[in-house]
Structure 1
Amino acid sequence: MPSKFSGLLFQPRHLSPDFSTLRLLYGPVCLAVLGAWFGYANPLIHIPIAIIMLPAGIMLAASRASTQAQAFRYAFLTAWPAYTASLYWLALPVHDYGALPWALALPCPFLVAAVLAGYAGFFGLGIFTLGTRRDSGWGVMLSFGLWATLEVLRNVLLTGFSWLTLSSALAPWPQVLGLAAWIGGFGLSGIIVSAVYTLIFCTRFRKLWAVALVIICILPWALHRSEPPQNLASAALIQGNIDQNQKWEPELQAEILDAYLGLTRQAASHQPDILIWPETAMPFYYQDGGTLPTQVTDTVRDLGLPLVAGAPAYSLPAHGSEYILHNRAYLFNKNAQVLSWYDKEHLVPFGEYVPLGRWLPFISKLVPGAYEFGPGHDQLPLVTAGLTMGMLICYEAIFPELAQNQVAKGANVLVNISNDAWFGRSSAPLQHLHLAVLRAVEQNRFLLRATNTGISALIDPQGYIRTQGPSFVPSILLCKDIALLTATTFYHDHFHAIHASFALIACMAWTALRLAGQRFLSTTSTP
């Protein structure tokens, strides 16, 4: 019977029974942590290809286990510090704006990372169950299908958290993102993992699989057909650079609005088709009327240009006595009339609302505010001047189904308004931008990203960042030649079927490997 580790590129040393888990996992953990830190965006140095070390570390850890429980535990313990290192910034808003001491804020990234590591644990369990049959094409397919399926589940379970999607690390290399238009960002993550699996386990056919993977990555561009020239639009993204500590001070509301109105008047001289302010740029209830809302409408009317502007809002349910708050994007036409609005659908847990808050009243939000927000439902794109804008407010850009829904309702451009000032000069704004890149490629739409402190950008449907603004500087980002596209991608047209196919591929591969293993045992046991 061949060794469990035969065919490995990295052969583990002989381990004595009393060898500690820490010593056993030292190499895989270092590999995974370095891969996550350098692979995902960070302000110091970003090396996209390093991301392959994250799944490599998880696979190697799982392959060193001797039981299924141990495989899950090893994969979990390897992924946990890796994800924590990339999510360190979660502690910043909890401490700085949630007023919690560091002793309570610092565990937050560890807790969220533990959830992500749990999915990695199931991936490690899948790798372990392959036993001695890892050096096969079915193993490659299992690694692809299982990782992609787990990313899909991570997107929906426990309110969903698709941050650190593996493929988002490659956003600076749009040349390799073409496959996302066919199988989405989750599918592209699966391709990355299957390539790593091939490198580690498939020693006999490594060159063949490498060529196949290169062809798979190049094929989407070879099959790509440019859409005939469409109507072109222009936009001005207004970045106010308002300090988060000052944003909600009532005595500063007029000063904040003056900053946005001044930048807007400058931008209007370029005659863009649309002006876009970021999330909650108006730090007051526009619907209440008064001096500040009047200043907004007077300026829009004087400039004669439509405006999208974020603001808090509220509504009173038909049956109820308590107001519901909304994170809203208003659309003003050139005559300063509010044509429509979009209320954020996917709220930030513990930031805008408390999950299970009705049953767990002792848990409070981790950011300021006496009230919880309520989600919008079945929101339509905002339409003006030939633009049908699919809105994504802040956190919503990380969820592919929200961009999918907006394009399905007719959006010919995606607009992401955000306020990432919460996270300071951390990795979060860059990681957020890279997730938005995936949405543009998946849906074949230009994506306009207007932020308070950065990173404002124009992203094209191939994933190229056409223009990008500075961080923590008041600025105007002028975006030209925005094609208003109507063609949809294969991924868009078969969204749910593609996600289901990941699980189907994983199940087929696992079943085939189990049957092959049974035949092998039957053959070797025959006298």
Structure 2
Amino acid sequence: MDVVDKDKEYTFFAGRRSPIVDCVVALAAGVLTTLSAAPFSLWWLGPVSVALVYWRIASLTPAMATLRGWCYGVGLFGSGTSWVFVAIHDFGGTGALMAMFLTTLFVSVLALFFAVPFGLYRRITGPRFAFLSFAGMWVVSEWLRTWLLTGFPWLLLGTSQIDSPLAPWAPVGGVYLLSLMTALTGTLGVEVLRRRWIFLVPMAALWIVPFLLPAQWTTPAGKPIQVALLQGNLDQRIKWTAQGQREAISIYTTMTRVQARDIDLIVWPEAALPMLEQEAQQILEQVASDLGPDTALLTGILQRDSEGRSYNSVIGLNDVQGEYQKAHLVPFGEYLPFQSLLADTLAFFDLPTPRLTPGSDVQAPLHVAGTTIGNAICYEIIFADHVAQQARNAELLLTVSNDTWFGRSIGPHQHLQMARLRALENGRHLLRATSNGVTAIIDSQGHVTARAPQFEQASLT
């Protein structure tokens, strides 16, 4: 049995700490995780943040471990999803105090996804292979967050590693394997700091193996196509007014005419025209007549069926086969989860009740310009399983989005980073057309090959 000289042991944050100090350190670790992700992209802070919350967790009671996990979650989501306040207050028409209350509630509930696993980890696991069980617990908590309470897989640890040497793990096991490797780097690093040098071997393997993995897991299919992604930069505050309708029609029809003869595929963003498809029929017919015979167009638009159900959809003009209806809607933004429980609460606070209907979980890809396209509308791109299902029979991925709700926050950059990881996981090129940024073309390695400036009208080719 090895005996460690406590006087010589590496004592970073060693000794007993008050609950307040422990919580402050955990809060800071959460903020560091946010800094590891876009737009800061200090990816090396991902393992560091795990190390901070893993350090000496074995000395905590289950209650204190729960508190540490909750404080970490508050630090992570308080700093990393601050854009929720912007969406609710600036664009949702909610007063500042109510928006602050709702944002605080949102962050506090999400933090439970770390609080409960941390407490359970301390209660049911022992010291043997603690580095592995803690990292495994981390990934399980992320997996639960992907589907529990409708799911919110935002700021998953693995996403921050898209530009790190660990990124080649993503095509092997997706974001969860990437999260596991990142968490293991943090926990193994702590063991090394405790002078348990044997842990250098698995830690080094985590970082060496990616260099031995194939650089490309898929091969190109079909001929290249020329695309134009249109970014109209229409002010969200007026979008759904009569003035907004006129401006949207003018912006997108004018930009389309410029590209109509030289491009295989033109893409408008999510709900580019602020009206139902039926109301836009005459406009769309005119746009179709302006297109060249070999040019197709895809646009996000709202649809309503004969029974009055509304869908957030992607439709096509000029020889496009199929359409797509958004399957994973934004809770509270596009539909009301747990409606029987929450409808009266929203009415009491005079908050709007969203009423979109989800599309089918399994939908065929679109056939456009000689290629098959898998789709994800806005929020759906953050769900790895959904995109993998769409990619299965598709040669190209497309996500249309309206990120104006984020304002000038860090949200659009985080959204783009998740889209990049979906491209890498599935080995597919990905087109991202947004209302005001970040519009981008992403290759099958997750690299951005072309990018339009935010908050400007732009055509990205």
Paired position in structure 1 for 2:108: 114
- Cα distance between partner residues in 1 of 2:278 and 2:427: 35
Paired amino acid for 1:384? V
Unaligned runs of 5+ in 2: none
Q: Secondary structure at the match of 1:233?
A: coil
The change in CA–CA distance for 1:10 and 1:316 in structure 2 (over 3 A counts) is farther
Paired position in structure 2 for 1:296: 287
- Cα distance between partner residues in 2 of 1:108 and 1:441: 34
Q: Which TM-score applies when normalising by structure 1?
A: 0.79
**Equivalent position to 1:433, from 400, 413, 416:** 416
The structure that has the greater radius of gyration is 1
**Equivalent position to 1:200, from 184, 190, 206:** 190
The change in CA–CA distance for 1:367 and 1:398 in structure 2 (over 3 A counts) is farther
Considering only aligned residues, what root-mean-square deviation do their CA atoms show, in Å?
Answer: 2.8
| 1:239-278 map, 5 Å | 239-269=231-261, 271-278=262-269
Paired position in structure 2 for 1:38: 35
Paired position in structure 1 for 2:49: 54
Paired position in structure 2 for 1:473: 456
Paired position in structure 2 for 1:525: none
- Cα distance between partner residues in 1 of 2:350 and 2:297: 29
Paired position in structure 1 for 2:66: 72
Q: Secondary structure at the match of 1:448?
A: strand
Give the superposition deviation at 1:57: 2.7
Question: Residues 356-414 of structure 1: CA distance to partner in whole angstroms, max 9, x if unpaired?
Answer: 12343224399986651000013221112212110100000000111111123x11111
Q: Which piece of structure 1 moves more, 228-237 or 393-402? A: 228-237
Larger relative contact order (CA 8 Å, sep ≥ 6): 1
- Cα distance between partner residues in 2 of 1:129 and 1:263: 60
The change in CA–CA distance for 1:304 and 1:370 in structure 2 (over 3 A counts) is farther
Paired amino acid for 1:102? A
Preserved contact between residue 23 and residue 68 of structure 2 (Cα < 8 Å): yes
Paired amino acid for 1:73? L
Is structure 2 residue 204 aligned with structure 1 residue 211? yes
The change in CA–CA distance for 1:284 and 1:74 in structure 2 (over 3 A counts) is same
Paired position in structure 2 for 1:325: 310
Paired amino acid for 1:149? V
Is structure 2 residue 342 aligned with structure 1 residue 360? yes
Give the superposition deviation at 1:225: 5.4
Paired amino acid for 2:273? M
Paired position in structure 1 for 2:225: 233
Paired position in structure 2 for 1:443: 426
Is structure 2 residue 27 aligned with structure 1 residue 29? yes
Paired amino acid for 2:132? M
Give the superposition deviation at 1:226: 5.8
The change in CA–CA distance for 1:81 and 1:195 in structure 2 (over 3 A counts) is same
Give the superposition deviation at 1:303: 6.2
- Cα distance between partner residues in 2 of 1:107 and 1:461: 41
Give the superposition deviation at 1:234: 2.1
Give the superposition deviation at 1:469: 1.1
Paired amino acid for 1:186? Y
Paired amino acid for 1:396? E
Preserved contact between residue 343 and residue 353 of structure 2 (Cα < 8 Å): no
The change in CA–CA distance for 1:123 and 1:73 in structure 2 (over 3 A counts) is same
| 1:90-105 map, 5 Å | 90-105=84-99
Paired amino acid for 1:272? I
- Cα distance between partner residues in 1 of 2:324 and 2:157: 30
Is structure 2 residue 174 aligned with structure 1 residue 190? no
The change in CA–CA distance for 1:371 and 1:48 in structure 2 (over 3 A counts) is closer
Q: Secondary structure at the match of 2:77?
A: helix
Question: Residues 151-206 of structure 1: CA distance to partner in whole angstroms, max 9, x if unpaired?
Answer: 11111111010010111112344x53211101101110111000100011243123
Preserved contact between residue 32 and residue 57 of structure 1 (Cα < 8 Å): no
Give the superposition deviation at 1:61: 6.9
Preserved contact between residue 312 and residue 325 of structure 1 (Cα < 8 Å): yes
- Cα distance between partner residues in 1 of 2:342 and 2:353: 16
Give the superposition deviation at 1:256: 1.2
Preserved contact between residue 228 and residue 259 of structure 2 (Cα < 8 Å): yes
Give the superposition deviation at 1:286: 1.9
- Cα distance between partner residues in 2 of 1:195 and 1:6: 26
- Cα distance between partner residues in 1 of 2:101 and 2:153: 20
- Cα distance between partner residues in 2 of 1:148 and 1:288: 46
Unaligned runs of 5+ in 1: 318-322, 479-527
- Cα distance between partner residues in 2 of 1:254 and 1:161: 35
- Cα distance between partner residues in 1 of 2:245 and 2:109: 39
Q: Which piece of structure 1 moves more, 429-438 or 350-359? A: 350-359
Preserved contact between residue 88 and residue 99 of structure 2 (Cα < 8 Å): yes
- Cα distance between partner residues in 2 of 1:8 and 1:428: 41
Paired amino acid for 1:373? L
Preserved contact between residue 34 and residue 155 of structure 2 (Cα < 8 Å): no
Preserved contact between residue 381 and residue 390 of structure 1 (Cα < 8 Å): yes
Q: Percent identity?
A: 29
Preserved contact between residue 419 and residue 451 of structure 1 (Cα < 8 Å): yes
- Cα distance between partner residues in 1 of 2:452 and 2:181: 32
Paired position in structure 2 for 1:498: none
